[in-house]
Amino acid sequence: MSNSSFITEFLLLPFADTRELQLLHFVLFLGIYLAALLGNGLILTAIACDHRLHTPMYFFLLNLALLDLGCISTTVPKAMANSLHDTRAISYAGCAAQVFLFPFLMSAEYFILTVMAYDRYAAICKPLHYRTLLGSRACAQMATAAWGSGVLYAVLHTANTFSLPLCQDNAVDQFFCEIPQILKISCSRSYLRSFWVLVVGVWLASVCFVFILFSYVQIFRAVLRMPSEQGRHKAFSTCLPHLFVVSLFISTGFFAYLKPPSMSSPSLNLIVAVLYSVMPPTLNPLIYSMRNRELKWAIRKVISWMLLNRDKFPLFFQK
């Protein structure tokens, strides 16, 4: 097949060959997807409804929850539908949508995590200037820059990927339309044209990583100088969840895209893709709420309303 214009659909990698295992995969992914929807939905509702959480830290956390919902909704529903209906097909337009949306949401999430590191740095290292550095206008501008940068990066990747002629078949060795797997079925000479896009991505990721690393070096130096044990505990309770999420995001993402070819195999690629595309959106709400008393209290209020106080919701958060 010499030209991608003749392709009307792609074939995704199935999770299993037998019908029983396909249904098991559907049930497992359905549980994971519902858990991600519930966790991120509770965080969104708690932050939006509790005025005490209308601070820069929770504003960026709200953006992160939105991106997590988008990430898992881009890949998992189609994989569940394929398992349920015993098919591997995804339309050309659906594949193009995944190729655009997934890099957009993942890169925007990485930029938001970088901004959140700056927020923690300003709160702990420059508390007297925190309101000035992170006013409402500055927060909106940083969030807009993160989302906008994600869009530009995704457009760059999508345009480059679908401008390459596909010289092999239309089978993608992944459960969603992942860019590296699509590049593998392109012509070998055309594949080299995507190298500069990879360089841009690695450079941006490295800059963000260095910024996050520098921020946390300054944060831990400031925290260790705090005379109050209670102050140190509060600082760590807001920083460690973010640091854990960043570590999970970077380790799985970098391994997925920069692992040596000798380590590539369909089963390993599948496991790594699940780790970096499905698990973080599911685990992030749990990680952020585990040590955060304010967020846990707000989530409890949301759950209490859902169970007992439906008719009193407008007054509930004003108490």
Where exactly are the structural domains of the chain? 9-316
DSSP element (H, E) containing 191: helix 188-192
Average pLDDT score over residue span 303-317: 64
- pLDDT score of 37 more than 90: yes
As a whole number of angstroms, the distance between CA 103 and CA 161 comes to 12
Q: What distance in Å separates the CA atoms of residue 298 and residue 45, rounded to the nearest whole number?
A: 9
**Where residue 234 falls among pLDDT bands split at 50, 70, 90?**
confident
CA 270/CA 52 separation, integer angstroms: 41
Choose among 217, 229, 250, 219: nearest CA to 120: 219
Burial 143-163 (b: 16+ CB within 10 A, else e): beebbebbeebbeebbebbbe
Task: Please determine, for residue 305, whether its predicted confidence score (pLDDT) is greater than 90.
Answer: no
pLDDT higher than 70, residue 2:
no
The CATH number for 9-316, chosen from 1.10.132.20, 1.20.1070.10, 1.10.10.10, 3.90.1150.10, is 1.20.1070.10
The answer to which of 26-30, 69-73, 148-152, 204-208 has the lowest mean pLDDT is: 204-208
Residue of 172 and 32 predicted with greater confidence: 32
**At 296, which amino acid appears?**
K
| Residue of higher predicted confidence among 178 and 143 | 143
Q: What is the mean pLDDT of residues 18-40?
A: 93
Reported as a single tens digit per residue, the pLDDT across 172-206 is: 888 999 888 888 887 765 555 566 777 777 888 88
